């Protein structure tokens, strides 16, 4: 019996090492032609067609939405108004333009006046020529604690494979 148990464990380990284990959930957005992955232990919910992903412990919340407004400026202004109505005035820390997995992206990083809350807003031009708004709000401590996971989540935003 012990021999069979050991054989089973060796077989299982071989399978895991050969094929790996998936520790992420993937969320496709057909309208935008993109998908995003998040660790299994992160909470997710769709509210009003907006994907919301939260860290296992309180502190980080990501929001992802394909913009519906015809005027991009209006959509961004509405987002800014929603964020500042909760957090107050924000201080800009950094603006950058990057290419994220082949998609043009603009990033704006902010913090609250007291520096305790960080906000990062990304605008991504998706393969379907729609803009995806991705932003996260997090405490300074949670931002440090989940830095690796946040980088992986944002890095997973990519065109849907066909």
Q: Is 18 helix (H, G, I), strand (E, B) or coil?
A: helix
What ranges do the domains of the chain cover? 22-159
Domain over 22-159 is classified CATH 3.40.50.300? no
Which pLDDT does position 162 carry in this prediction? 64
Q: How high is the pLDDT of residue 108? A: 92
Q: In terms of C-beta distances under 8 Å and separation of at least 24 residues, what long-range contacts does 48-57 make, across chains too?
A: 51/27, 53/153, 55/138, 55/142, 55/145, 55/146, 55/149, 57/142
For residue 124, pLDDT over 70 is answered with yes
pLDDT at 69: 61
Give the range among 5-19, 113-127, 144-158 with minimum mean pLDDT.
5-19
Residue 4 has pLDDT above 70, yes or no: no
Percentage of the chain modeled with pLDDT above 70:
84
Between 49 and 27, name the one with better pLDDT: 27
């Amino acid at each position: 019996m012990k021999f069979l148990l050991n054989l089973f464990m060796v077989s299982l380990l071989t399978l895991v090492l050969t094929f790996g284990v998936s520790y992420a959930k993937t969320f496709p957005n057909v309208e935008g032609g993109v998908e995003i992955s998040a660790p299994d232990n992160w909470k997710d919910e769709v509210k009003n067609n907006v994907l919301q992903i939260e860290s296992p412990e309180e502190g980080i919340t990501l929001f992802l939405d394909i913009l519906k407004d015809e005027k991009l400026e209006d959509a961004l202004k509405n987002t800014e108004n929603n964020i500042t109505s909760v957090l107050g005035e924000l201080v800009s820390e950094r603006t950058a333009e990057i290419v994220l997995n082949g998609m043009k992206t603009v990033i704006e990083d902010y913090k609250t006046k007291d520096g305790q809350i960080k906000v990062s807003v990304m605008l991504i031009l998706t393969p379907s020529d729609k803009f995806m708004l991705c932003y996260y709000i997090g405490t300074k401590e949670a931002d440090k604690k989940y830095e690796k996971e946040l980088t992986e989540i944002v890095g997973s935003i990519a065109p849907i494979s066909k």
